Structure 1
Amino acid sequence: MMNRRTLLRSATLLAGGLMLPALPLRAQQAQDAAAPFSFDALIQRAKDMAQAPYEPPMMPDPEIVQQINYQRHGELKFHTATARFSGQPDTGDVKGYPLEFFPLGMYAPKRVRMFVVENGQSSEVHYNPALFDMPADNPARKLPSDAGFAGFRLQEWYTEDDWTKQDWVAFQGASYFRAIGADGQYGLSARGIVINAAIPDGPEEFPDFKEFYIEQQPGGTPDSPVTVHALLDGPSVTGAYRIKMTRGLDRTKGVIMEVEAKVFLREDVERLGLMPMTSMFWFSEYGRDRLIDWRPEVHDSDGLSMWSGTGERIWRPLNNPDATRVAAFGDENPRGFGLSQRDRNFDHYQDGVFYDRRPSLWVEPLAPLGKGAVQLMEIPTDDEINDNIGAFWVPEAPSVKGNSYDLHYRLYWQNTEPFPATNIAQTRATRIGRGGQPGHPRPAGVYHFAVEFDRPEVMKQIPYGVFPDVMVTASNGTVSRTFAEPVPNGNIWRANFDLALEEGQLTDLRMYMALDGKPLTETWLYQFRSDWAFD
C-alpha cells in the first residue's frame, strides 16, 4: 500500500524533453504475428492458472535494474512521436489516443507483456531501447534487448499542438492504475485487487497485472472507449479484467471506466478487497502539529464518501493515525463509495503540486454485491510520499480457495461525486480544538468538534431564527454543549459539540443535523483518540 507513489511519480517525469527518433515507427515497435484474442479466452486462462502453482513474473537483470533509481528512471524518455495510435500523417498510423510504454526501473522491476488488439487479433509489442531517449551513462543501456516494459500510459487525443503534453491514464506497478480528473491532475489510484492488507498474521500480497491487451476502435472518435484487458496473477489469486476507459474532448468530465472482472482464488484469503482504491492523507484542517510542515493541508483525498444500500449518505473524514487501523462499514448492496477531494481551495494548500486539483474517485457497482462491508484502511505517515489510505469492498462470506467472483462496476475520476444528494447538505470541513467555554479555563481531556455543512439549496430552507438540532452519539466518552450556528458569508452551518474522553481512549463518533426530525445533512462519522490531539 505504501510503496507505489515513488514509482508513479517517476512515471510523471517522462512527459517532457521529447526527442524525435531516427528509426521509423514500425521498425522500432516490433510485433509478433497476430493471434486470436477474446475476453472469454482470457478468463479461461485465469481459471486454469488458479489450478496451477504460482509462477512469479520475470525480473530481468535485477542488479542493473536496481541501478535505475528515481533520478535515472526520470532520464528515460519515450519517443512520443513513435507512439501507436498517434495518427500522424508520415506514419500512416491509426488515429486515437497515443500509446506509450514505461521502462523498467528500481521501483518497477517486473516485466509486463504488452499486446495490441486489432479486429479480434492480438500482437505482442516487444521492448526496443531505441524507443527511449537514454543518456550515454544511464544504466538502462545495459539492459538486454528483451528486457520488456514496466507499464504504459495514454496521451491525449492527437491534435496539432498539445497531444504530447498530457497523459490521462497510466498502468504501472502491481495492479495499480490511475487517471486524471477534470483539472488534468493525477492523484489517487485504483487497484485491481487487495489481498490481505493490514492483517496481523502476515504481509500484504501484491498481485500483478502480468499482461495487457490494449484495443482502440479503428476510425473512432475521442468519445470512443479505449479497452484494456489485463491478466492478473499472484500467489493467492488470478483474474481477467476488461476496462473500458472513456476520455473525450470535454475534459471537464474527467475519466470514466467500466470494469468487468472474473477473479479466482488459488488460496484462502483473510481480507479480500474488491474494487479497491488507494490515496494519501497526511493532515488537513485538523491533525496538524504546529511545526510539522509549512503548508496548511497536505492530502490527495480528505474523506471517504458512502451511499448505503438503504440510501443513507455518509462522510468519514480521513485520519493519519498512530497505528494502522481498519474501519468496517457493514452494508448490503451499497450504491457506491469513494475517496474524495472535496476541499478545492488553493489557499488551503499553498502548494505548487496542486492538491486542490486532485481527482476524486467514485465506484458504482453495476451488479449487486450482497452483504459485506466498505473497509477503510489508514496507515500512519510522516510525509506525503506514501500512500497510506485504502478503501475497498470486502464480502461477508469467507474468501476460500476455489471461490470465484464476478465483478462489474464503474469508476468515475472527477472533481465531485457523480451522484450527489440534492436534499441534504455535504460536509465542508472538520475542525477540532480544546473544549470548554471560551474565556474560561479549558478542562483537560475535553475536545471541541466543529463540523461545517454546505449546500445552499438545502440550508437556505432553514427559517430565520430557527436552529437545527445536532444529533451526535459517541461509542466512548461523554458528549455535551451541542449546538448549531450559521457561518457568516454563505449558507453554511456549523454543528458544534464537546467530547470528554479518557486519555488514550478510542471513540467512534456519529453526527448529523436535523430539522423537524428529518435529516438535513449527510451522516458524519469520525474515529478519534485523545492522544492524537494536543495534550
Structure 2
Amino acid sequence: MLDMMSKPLNRRQFLESAASGVASVSLLGVTSAQAQTPTGAAAFNIPALAEGQRFDPALVVETARTLAQRPLIPLTATDLPEGYATLPFDQFSGIRAQPGGLIWSGENRGFTVEPLHRGYVFANPVSLFTVEDDVVRRVAFDRGKFDYGRVTPPPANVDLQFSGMRIATGLERPFEVAIFQGATFFRSLARGQNLGALSRALILRPGETRGEEIPFFRAFWIERPSPASGALVIHALLDSESLAGALRMTLRPGDVTLIDVEMTLFARQALEHIGFGCTMGTFLSGPQSRRTFDDIRPAVHEISGIQMLSGKGEWIYRPVSNPATLQVSSFMDENPKGFGLVQRERDPAAFLDDDQRFELRPSVWMEPLGDWGQGSVQLIEIPSDSDINDNVIMYWRPRQPLAAGSETTIAYRQAWCWQPPERPPLAVATRVRQGRGTQGRRRRFMVDFTGDKLADAGIVASTRANITSQPGAIHNVRIWPFPERKLMRVGFEVDPGTDNLCELRLVLQAGGQPVSETWLNRWTW
C-alpha cells in the first residue's frame, strides 16, 4: 500500500508543527485531563462529547464557541518519552499501528482508521473518538497496538494520545486515501495517485512580518460508516490564538476523491488576514522557470500552476515558479466558482524520476459553496532549493476581516483529482517555455495551447493572440497552428524596459470571443 508519510516534512512544516502548541484548558464544559495522565499529556475531556455520551454535531460547534470565550492557553508538549521528539524521520515513519490497532479492521465498513503515534515534529497530542450507534467512544492509546520497528517503545501505562490519523478505504480496490497530522494539515489523493500537495483547514497571516499564526486540531470525532455508504464523516475541533472553530468533513474516495468541508469559526480577536481552502505544493524547476539547478532531472514539481474560474466565468491559468525572491500575487474576485493548484504535466518523460513519480501527484480543486463575497485568491511563491519544500501556497482571502466576537461559517468542496472535475470548454495552456530574447533584457516565451477548438480550420484561421504586459512591451508575436494535433503555439518577446517585474496576460480569440483560457504569468528579473 502507498505510504502516506513517504514525504518528510520540510523546514517550514517543522516550524508550523512546532508552533502549534496545544493547550490544556479548564472552562465550562472543558476540563483539564493533565492530572489524569501519568505523563502529563495535553489531553482534555469534554463531558458532553466524551466516552459513552450521545453524539450531536452541534455540540462540537458549541464547544468551539465556549473555547473562543476564553484566551488560548498554550502548553508545550513535554510528556513525550526521551528521544521521541528528536527521532529521525525514517525511524518515526516506521512506527505503525498493528493490524489489530486499526479502527474497524475486519468489519467491512469500507474504511479503516490508523491512529498515528506522536514523535518527530509531531509532538502535540490529538484526541481521537469514534461515533458508533450515535454514541461517543474514546480511542485509547495502547502501546501494544503499535509496531515500533527500531524505536524503543514508551513506558507502559502511559497515555500519549495521538498525533493524528491515517485513513484507508476498503472499497473494491483498497488504497490509503487521507492523512490528518500536524497543525490543521491534511493530505488526500485519488485512486492511482502518489502523495503530493498538502491542504490546510485554515491559514492565518501567512507571509506577514510579525509571523504566521498556526491553528491546530484538538480532537476528531469519526462517525462509523455503514458498509455501503462509501463516505466517511469526520468532525474536528480546532483552536488558535485568534479563534476557535468546528469542522465537519465528508470524505468520498475514488477516481476523484471528494472532501466536503463545513467550518464554523468564532473569533477571539479581530483578524484581518485569514485564508480558506489553502493548498501547498512543491515547485523546484521546470521549463517555465528561470532558475536552474544542477539536477539530473529535467523538471522537478508536483504542481505546475494555479487554475481559477472567476465569479464572472473567466477561466484563468497561471504557471507557478521558483522565484529568486519571495513573490506574493493577488487575484481579485467576487464569489469565485473554483480555484486550485493543479499538476498538468502527466508525462513521465518530463521528469525522468522513477522514485518521486511527480506525474502521479494530485491536482487539488476548491469549489466554494454558498456566497463567499469579495476577496482574492492569494498565491505565495517562496524561493527553494529542495524538492521536499512546499514552497507554493494558494488560498482564498476574504476582503471582509473577522471582527472580534464574530461567528463565521464557510463551506467548500475539495476535489483531489487528475484534473479538476469542472474543465474549461476552451483550449488550455499545456506547456510553457522561456529563455533569452533577441536583444537587451528581452525574454522569449513559447506557450502551447491544446483543445478541440484548435482542430477547427475556420477557428484556427481567424484566431489571434491577445497579449499584454504591465509594465513592458510585447514584440515578435508569432502563431504556429497544428490542427492535426489540436495545438496552437504562441511565441512572443517581452521587453521590460527599466522595470524588473512584468505581469503578462495572453488569451487566444476568434471573432472577439475567447478560444482559450486566459494565461497569466509574472516575470521578474
Where on the TM-score scale, by shorter chain, does this alignment land: which range? 0.7 to 0.9
1:210–1:230 CA contact under 8 A, matched in 2: yes
Q: Partners in 1 of 2:79 and 2:116 — Cα distance?
A: 17
Task: Give the alignment of 1:349-428 within 5 angstroms.
Answer: 349-352=351-354, 353-422=356-425, 424-428=426-430
When residues 119 and 311 of structure 1 are mapped into structure 2, their CA distance, relative to the original with a 3 A threshold, is same
Q: Deviations over 1:49-71 (max 9, x none)?
A: 11101023662435533232212
What residue number does 1:176 align with? 185
1:190 is aligned, of 195, 199, 203, to 199
Alignment partner of 1:466 out of 461, 468, 491: 461
AA at the equivalent of 1:69: P
Deviation at 1:143, TM superposition (A): 8.0
- Aligned-residue RMSD, C-alpha: 2.3
Give me the whole-angstrom Cα distance separating, in 2, the residues matched to 1:462 and 1:232.
Answer: 56
**Which residue does 2:91 correspond to in 1?**
72
In 2, the alpha carbon distance for the partners of 1:96 and 1:178 equals 19
**Amino acid across the alignment from 2:230:** S
Map 1:2-21; keep pairs closer than 5 Å: 3=11
Deviation at 1:307, TM superposition (A): 0.2
Residues 121-520 of structure 1 correspond to what in structure 2 (within 5 A)? Answer: 121-135=135-149, 138-142=151-155, 145-157=158-170, 163=174, 166-200=175-209, 202-218=210-226, 220-221=227-228, 223-247=229-253, 251=254, 253-287=255-289, 289-352=291-354, 353-422=356-425, 424-436=426-438, 443-455=439-451, 457-463=452-458, 466=461, 468-487=463-482, 490-502=485-497, 505-520=500-515
Is 463-472 or 295-304 further displaced after alignment?
463-472
The residue type paired with residue 397 of structure 1 is Q
Q: Residue 139 of structure 1: CA displacement?
A: 4.4
Partner SS, residue 63 of structure 2: helix
Give the match for residue 55 of structure 1.
73
Q: Number of matched residues?
A: 483
Q: 1: distance between equivalents of 2:171 and 2:374? A: 45
- 3-state DSSP class of the match of 2:124? coil
CA contact under 8 A between 1:57 and 1:110: conserved in structure 2?
A: no
What is the deviation of 1:132? 0.9
Structure 1 residue runs without a partner (length 5+): 9-30, 88-92, 437-442, 531-535
* Identical columns (%): 29
Who is 2:63 aligned against? 45
Q: How far apart, CA to CA, are the structure 1 residues paired with 2:386 and 2:360? A: 19
Secondary structure of 1:86's counterpart equals: coil
Checking the alignment, whether the CA contact within 8 Å between 1:208 and 1:232 is kept in structure 2 is: yes
Q: Distance in 1 between matches of 2:292 and 2:397?
A: 37
- Give CA-to-partner distance per residue, 1:16-65, whole Å, 9 cap, x none: xxxxxxxxxxxxxxx97411222211111111111101023662435533
Indicate conservation of the 8 Å contact 2:114/2:165, yes or no: yes
Query: Structure 1 residues 254-263 or 308-317, which shifts more?
Result: 254-263
Amino acid of the residue matched to residue 282 of structure 2?
Answer: M
Give the counterpart letter for 2:506 in structure 1. Answer: M
> Structure 1 residues 128, 477: CA separation in 2 closer, same or farther (over 3 Å shift)?
same
The residue type equivalent to 1:111 in the other structure is: P
TM-score under structure 2 normalisation? 0.87
* Contact 2:314–2:517 under 8 Å retained in 1: yes
Deviates more, 1:341-350 or 1:35-44: 35-44
Find the aligned partners of 2:11 and 2:157 in 1 and give their Cα distance: 26
Q: Is the 8 A contact 2:101 2:146 kept in 1?
A: no
> Per the alignment, do residues 395 and 447 of structure 1 end up closer, same or farther by CA in structure 2, a change over 3 Å counting?
same
- What amino acid is the match of 1:66? A
Q: Determine helix, strand or coil for the equivalent of 2:458.
A: coil
The 3 A distance-change label for structure 1 pair 465 and 269 is closer
Distance 1:61 1:143 in 2: 14
8 Å Cα contact 1:56/1:234 also seen in 2: no
Cα offsets for 1:408-465 (capped at 9, x unmatched): 110111100111122x1111011111222xxxxxx1201111111111x211124397
How far is the alpha carbon of 1:357 from its aligned partner?
0.6
Q: For 1:36 and 1:215, how far apart are their aligned partners in 2? A: 12
Amino acid aligned to 1:325: Q
CA distance in 2 between counterparts of 1:364 and 1:285 reads: 29
Moved more, 373-382 or 265-274: 265-274
| Cα distance between partner residues in 1 of 2:176 and 2:75 | 27
Equivalent residue, structure 1, for 2:124? 110
- In terms of mean alpha carbon deviation, does 481-490 or 408-417 score higher? 481-490
- Shift of the alpha carbon at 1:315? 0.2
Change (3 A) 1:7 1:377: closer
- In structure 2, what residue type is equivalent to 1:149? F
For 1:470 and 1:180, the matched residues in 2 are separated by: 36
- Asked whether the 8 Å contact 1:181–1:360 carries over to 2, the reply is no
Counterpart-to-counterpart distance in 1, 2:75 and 2:129: 16
CA distance in 2, matches of 1:461, 1:488: 7
- Runs of 4+ residues over 4 Å off in structure 1: 1-8, 288-291
Measure, in 2, the Cα distance between the counterparts of 1:143 and 1:7. Answer: 30
Contact 2:163 / 2:181 at 8 angstroms: preserved in 1?
A: yes
Shift of 1:177: 0.7
8 Å CA contact 2:222, 2:235 repeated in 1:
yes
Secondary structure class of the residue paired with 2:349: helix
Alpha-carbon spacing, 1:384–1:106, altered in 2? closer, same or farther (3 Å): same
Equivalent residue of 1:84, what SS?
A: coil
- Aligned to 2:83, the other structure's residue is in SS state helix
Rounded Cα–Cα distance in structure 1 between residues aligned with 2:99 and 2:517: 46
1:180 aligned partner, one-letter code: L
Aligned partners of 1:64, 1:477: CA distance in 2, in Å? 56
Would the aligned equivalents of 1:57 and 1:210 in 2 still touch at CA under 8 Å? Answer: no
Q: Is the 8 A contact 1:64 1:140 kept in 2?
A: no
1:511–1:140 Cα change, 3 Å: farther
Distance 1:433 1:398, change over 3 A: same
Measured after TM superposition, the shift of residue 291 of structure 1 is: 4.4
- When structure 1 is superposed on structure 2, of 101-110 and 482-491 the one drifting more is 482-491
Bigger CA drift: 203-212 or 459-468?
A: 459-468
Distance 1:392 1:74 in 2: 29
AA aligned to 2:127 is: R
Structure 1 window deviating more from structure 2 (295-304 vs 64-73): it is 64-73
Deviations 1:450-504 (A, max 9, x none): 111111x211124397262111111111111122112586111112211112466
- The more displaced of 77-86 and 362-371 is 77-86
Distance 1:409 1:475 in 2: 33
Shift of 1:254: 2.5
Distance 1:447 1:526, change over 3 A: same
